[in-house]
Structure 1
Amino acid sequence: MMIRKIYKSSWFIKVVFVVSLFAIIFIAGLGYKHITNLSKSTDLVIHAFKVNVELEQILSYLKDAETGQRGFIITRDSSYLKPFFEGRIKVNNSFAELKYLTIDNPEQQENLKELSTLIDKRLDNLEIASNYAIKEQTDLAQFKDAFQEGKDYMNAIRSKLNYMITLESDLLKKRNEKYTSTAKITPIFLYVFILLTLVLMYAAYAKINSDIDKLKKYNQQLKVFKEATKQSEIINKHGSWRWNVEEDTFHFSDNLFRLLGEEPNSFDQSIENFMQFVHPEDVEKLSAQVEKMKEEKDLPFIVYRVIHKNGSIHYLKAYGKSTVNSEGHTQLLGTTTDITDEIDHYNTLEKRNKELELNNKELQAFNYVASHDLQEPLRKIQTFLSRLEDKEHDNLSESGKKYVERIHVAAGRMRLLIDDLLQYSRTNKSDEVLKESNINTLLEDAQQDLAEVIVSKNATITVDKIPNMKVIPFQIQQLFGNLIGNSLKYSKKDLDPVITVTYEQVSSEDDKKLSKGSFNEYHKIVISDNGIGFEQEYADKIFSLFSRLHNKDEYSGTGIGLSICRKITDNHRGFIFAKGKPNEGATFVIYLPVI
């Protein structure tokens, strides 16, 4: 994993090339050293050969001198002494050459001194023996002694020369072994090193090829991204610009020209030319911001107008932020967006808000009318009906009495409808502050409001202990009252109502119904009964305003109560769901967020 990461690193190629360069230099150095060693080895062979030749030459010169002496002794011809005299000169020349050749070898230098002494003695001996040979017979004994001494000197010279030649040959052999070993190891080492270098260079080559492929891919992606950016600018109605601070030059994107109603690159890219499109009333404001931008190297959000050639006015919003590029130059990068549609939408929204405010005022007026003006004639109707029943009841026909009774029922339903509408309109106001409330107390208060019905129907209500919550108290009490009242209203005639209220805290992840919610945790309150129930297909319809599943003569009601329940849970950013089965009962599930 680590090796793969190193191979993929951008510096891998640089390291490989540096190593390869040093490897090549090192190989060249080894090659040069190897050639130098071979050259030295050759020089040593030649050197040893020269030394041995000169030593052999000295022996040859001495032999020539000795031979000349013998010829002179036998013939008494002085011409035979020529090799003797020339041999001394040649021996001296050879000695000079040998001293030069063995200057770096102290042992051979010492041997040369000893050899020089022996040769001098031998040459002197030759001269003495020659002198004895040409005298009378009386000097024959001295001649024999000198001749024998010369022979001994010659043997000593041969021995010394052989020793020196052997010494030079041994030295040459050792040096040859050393250089031969180096010559053997060096090619193997060079081969391994070259192979390693080739492997590294191949790895670098493969990496370069891979990078080139990636670069082509990235370039293609960059082209696609560039084209996508251009299309995005066109679709989103924004353009980009760049100001090179140090050079004081500008660059506009193609779509920035279009935002001005112009074709790309239709004018020189400068702030002066750009200002020609700005609305006269906004030129001063924008110019001040540009000057500030030049000083502070920043441009906050600014909105201004531009005028197209066709006379249309467009709103633009610009923003700029200074950056420093890789070369250390300061640039101001900015975007400009056409927000004309946003301004139009905002103006439309403002208009609708004013209309909504007017509607709210009208609704408030309706509430006032419903709570005062509508109830006043209703009270009068009910008052006159009471008087009519008290004073004229006996004078009314049977049909008249039925009409009066129906008027009573209609007036009661009218009053109930007005009260429910007032309750619903009040529930629409969700701006009440949430308060930490005792839910058990609110539930008890709701039951207290229904105490008369609970007793008359012999109902049993079982309630779990519920923790405190942040709610709008009177709305939650109304929620419980409506739901328990609903269970009492739709109870079976031949069966005492049994109402159960349970509680648990649930997570939005555990319940799919809460996936659209904005909270992670919810309070779950379930109210179930054993009443007449309903078909599940109507589970959502029953929360609609004025929705009724039963005949008004069979069950009283206005169809507003459950609508109020949903409005209350909406105000708390919660949910309410219903489940039912005919003749088995109904269940209402309330979810309130944990705040």
Structure 2
Amino acid sequence: MPLKKKNNRIENRLRIILSAAILLLIILSIVSYRSLNSFKVKSAWVAHTSEVLFNVQRLLVELKDAENNHRAYLVSEDETFRRPYINSKIGVMEYYNESQELTRDNSKQQKRFKQLLTLIDKWYALVEDIHIAKEDSILNKAMIKTSLKREIDVMENIQSIISLIEETEENLLKKRNNDVDIALEENYLIISIFAALTLIIILLAYLHFIRDIQLRSALEDQLQESIHRLSQTNQELEQFAYVASHDLQEPLRKVISFSDIILRKHAEQLDEKGRTYFDRMINSTERMQTLIQDLLNFSRSTRNIGDRKSIKINNLINEVLEDLSESIHEAKGKVKLKLTTETTINGTPVQLRQLVQNIISNGIKYRKKDTNPVLKIKTKIIPAVKLEQKIPLLVSEEFIEITINDNGIGFDEQYLDKIFTIFQRLHGRSEYSGTGIGLAISKRVVENHNGYITAKSEVGKGSTFFIYLPVETKA
């Protein structure tokens, strides 16, 4: 399996595990949050019921205290017992109002509280009548006995209703305490599940991390092996290039040389047809020489041959134009330059010279009939961020853009990728000479220098090639 696919599988598996872990944690967090809220609500209801019970019990205590003070006053006629009795109603009503407010959600309890209020008012009214009769000195034993009996009956009814209220609240408290216990157990269970799953996720992540390291180590070993094999292949290619440049070309040179001797010294022995055959043979042999030389150049372009050094791009362009001056003059061509301030790049001089020469040569070669070639060459600096989608590795913050425009025959842009492929030609050999390797070499040279090359064109309206190369970083 290719290394890239293996790396993608590892990354995809890691994304799936992390996504599942995050999703699981989110779900558990939501469940835990809801469970805690439920626990809080149920705990609040327990506190609410407990408060009702407390207030009702305090209400009964206040009533009992009032009853004791009332009877002590009747026996002793001491006003110190009457004052607490009088003040007791404030406390009784305070506890009553709080209890009645707390049970607004319970209609049965509300009915009982209404009955309770009626009985409390009745009890205080009975007691007050006894106190008034005593003050008016019209109270006798028979009246006291009758009043006390009525008073006791009312108090018993009060206690009975309070008991019903307390019983209801105690049942509610028991149920709500049970709900709280269940909610607490649920919280413990959720926390336990949460902790267990967290540990499992951590363990799985750890195991996956270890496996990932092992896989990456294996991939690195495979990569090193591939690099080693590639190095061996490059050495074999270099050996082939040497053979192509020397051993294969030597026989061709002899064919051309002997053919030329025959044509010069024995031309009179050949008829017109024979001389034509010899001319065609020499032309074919020369094309073979050119093809072998171009293959050699392409082989060299796949590697960074030679030492890299600082190169002033303006000087390089001018030197190439000087080398091609004869070809430009013969084609009656013109070159218009618009170069930016001197810019330095780091690269291999031989390869970069060949790159620029190939593009300019094409501009001269692929000219329209009866039209003198005009080339416009300009350079400018652009920020690297503009090339993020084009170049995988941005080795500099700035790039130089070299634009080479011609007024030649142009090409259909649907063949843009094709023109940078080795042996791909858009025109027949009878129309324009060449082997279809020049632009493939140019692309390899640009890639060797961490750059990018592309083109725009329209049939009959010329072509524009764009070359991007990283500007040398100042130390």
1:188 maps to a residue whose letter is N
With structure 1 as the length reference, what TM-score do the two structures score?
0.51
Question: Normalized per residue, which structure has more strand?
Answer: 1
1:14 deviates by 6.6
Corresponding position of 1:235: none
Match of 1:370 among 224, 240, 244: 244
1:178 deviates by 1.7
Shift in alpha-carbon separation, 1:515–1:347, aligned structure 2, 3 A = closer
Corresponding position of 1:256: none
Match of 2:261 among 352, 368, 387: 387
User: Residues of 2 paired with 1:33 and 1:381: CA distance?
Assistant: 128
With structure 2 as the length reference, what TM-score do the two structures score?
0.62
Corresponding position of 1:570: 447
* 1:495 to 2:371 alignment: yes
* 1:51 to 2:80 alignment: no
Can you list the C-alpha shifts for 1:388-428, whole angstroms capped at 9, x where unaligned? 34433444432233233223322322222222111111101
1:530 deviates by 0.4
Question: Normalized per residue, which structure has more helix?
Answer: 2
Match of 1:483 among 338, 355, 359: 359
Corresponding position of 2:413: 536
Corresponding position of 1:412: 286
Matched residue SS, 2:409: coil
Corresponding position of 1:80: none
Matched residue SS, 2:454: strand
Shift in alpha-carbon separation, 1:379–1:564, aligned structure 2, 3 A = same
User: Residues of 1 paired with 2:406 and 2:102: CA distance?
Assistant: 92
* 1:526 to 2:403 alignment: yes
Please tell me whether the aligned partners of residues 509 and 515 of structure 1 are also in contact (alpha carbons under 8 angstroms).
Answer: no
Q: Which has the higher mean CA deviation after the structures are superposed, 41-50 or 410-419? A: 410-419
Shift in alpha-carbon separation, 1:241–1:509, aligned structure 2, 3 A = closer
Match of 2:392 among 517, 527, 547: 517
1:177 deviates by 3.6
1:524 deviates by 3.6
Matched residue SS, 2:89: helix
Please tell me whether the aligned partners of residues 241 and 335 of structure 1 are also in contact (alpha carbons under 8 angstroms).
Answer: no
Q: Residues 200-215 of structure 1 correspond to what in structure 2 (within 5 A)? A: none
Please tell me whether the aligned partners of residues 69 and 82 of structure 2 are also in contact (alpha carbons under 8 angstroms).
Answer: no
Corresponding position of 1:263: none
Q: Residues 149-164 of structure 1 correspond to what in structure 2 (within 5 A)? A: none
1:347 deviates by 8.7
Shift in alpha-carbon separation, 1:173–1:471, aligned structure 2, 3 A = farther
Corresponding position of 1:402: 276
1:47 deviates by 0.9
Structure 1 unaligned spans of 5+: 53-101, 103-167, 230-239, 243-318, 321-332
Can you list the C-alpha shifts for 1:553-576, whole angstroms capped at 9, x where unaligned? 332211111110121222234332
Can you list the C-alpha shifts for 1:515-548, whole angstroms capped at 9, x where unaligned? 5734487544332210112233332222221222
* 1:42 to 2:42 alignment: no
Matched residue SS, 2:236: helix
1:388 maps to a residue whose letter is I
Please tell me whether the aligned partners of residues 463 and 500 of structure 1 are also in contact (alpha carbons under 8 angstroms).
Answer: yes
* Larger relative contact order, structure 1 or 2 (CA cutoff 8 Å, min sep 6): 2
User: Residues of 2 paired with 1:24 and 1:402: CA distance?
Assistant: 120
User: Residues of 2 paired with 1:335 and 1:352: CA distance?
Assistant: 24
1:360 deviates by 3.0
* 1:181 to 2:90 alignment: yes
Match of 1:588 among 465, 468, 471: 465
Q: Residues 10-25 of structure 1 correspond to what in structure 2 (within 5 A)? A: none
* 1:33 to 2:51 alignment: no
Shift in alpha-carbon separation, 1:468–1:348, aligned structure 2, 3 A = closer
Matched residue SS, 2:234: helix
1:473 maps to a residue whose letter is P
Please tell me whether the aligned partners of residues 517 and 574 of structure 1 are also in contact (alpha carbons under 8 angstroms).
Answer: no
User: Residues of 2 paired with 1:179 and 1:541: CA distance?
Assistant: 106
1:436 deviates by 4.3
Please tell me whether the aligned partners of residues 73 and 82 of structure 2 are also in contact (alpha carbons under 8 angstroms).
Answer: no
Shift in alpha-carbon separation, 1:241–1:475, aligned structure 2, 3 A = closer
User: Residues of 2 paired with 1:539 and 1:554: CA distance?
Assistant: 20
Structure 2 unaligned spans of 5+: 1-29, 106-168
Can you list the C-alpha shifts for 1:96-134, whole angstroms capped at 9, x where unaligned? xxxxxx5xxxxxxxxxxxxxxxxxxxxxxxxxxxxxxxx
Matched residue SS, 1:540: helix
How many residues end up aligned between the 2 structures?
A: 365
Shift in alpha-carbon separation, 1:361–1:398, aligned structure 2, 3 A = same
Match of 1:429 among 294, 303, 312: 303
